[in-house]
Amino acid sequence: MASVEWKEVEGRDAIHKRFLFSNFVEAFGFMTSVALESEKMNHHPEWFNVYNRVDITLATHDCSGLSMNDIQLAQKIDHIYSIHKK
């Protein structure tokens, strides 16, 4: 269950991070937790899931780039990941 830091997306004002899990159920549980937090913030990620991998990209479409909402959501996602990987 390893991950790296958030990275800038080439050619976009966005950040990206890949999250790895032991299996699909763990990945889906993580996505569900992120979805609930995103809904509270009214700020939603772009994401892609294949089996045990979840790729998340954050950007704010209203400002065509990064905003504090992206940074705050990234921090919350990292916290959720730390809980799910235990």
Distance between CA atoms of residues 76 and 54, nearest Å: 15
pLDDT for the residue 1 = 42
Specify the amino acid at residue 70.
D
Q: Where are the domains of the chain?
A: 7-84
pLDDT digits 0-9 by tens, 48-84: 999 999 999 999 877 777 889 999 999 999 999 999 8
pLDDT for the residue 61 = 76
pLDDT digits 0-9 by tens, 4-39: 699 988 888 899 999 999 999 999 999 999 999 999
pLDDT for the residue 19 = 96
Q: Is 2.120.10.10 the CATH classification of the domain at 7-84?
A: no
Strand order in the sheet with 46-50: 7-8, 15-20, 53-58, 46-50
pLDDT for the residue 86 = 66
